[in-house]
Amino acid sequence: MTEIIAILEVLSPKLSTKSLNHLSLIDESVLSMTGCVTMLSISRWTEKGGSDRTV
């Protein structure tokens, strides 16, 4: 998990705050999922702000 946080810190100057927040939500949900990872399952595992359209 710390490696992903380090990568997001490197990308932060290049991404907008909104995009960075969405990317961190998606990262957390993918890491916590088990089984098949699909766009729909990612949107189900994310908290507020991780809708199907956002993903």
Does 55 map to a domain?
A: no
Inform me whether the pLDDT recorded for 33 exceeds 70.
yes
Domain that residue 32 falls in: 2-45
Q: In this structure, are residues 29 and 40 in contact, taking their beta carbons and an 8 Å threshold?
A: no
Does 53 map to a domain?
A: no
Q: Quick one: DSSP state of residue 54? A: T
Under 8 Å CB-to-CB from 33, ≥6 apart: which residues? 41, 42, 45
12 φ, ψ (degrees, to nearest 5):
-55, -35
pTM of the complete model: 0.63
Give residue-wise pLDDT tens across range 1-32.
Answer: 678 778 878 888 888 888 888 888 778 777 77
Does 27 map to a domain?
A: yes
Longest Cα–Cα distance of the chain, Å, equals: 33
> What is the Cα–Cα distance from 35 to 17, expressed in whole angstroms?
30
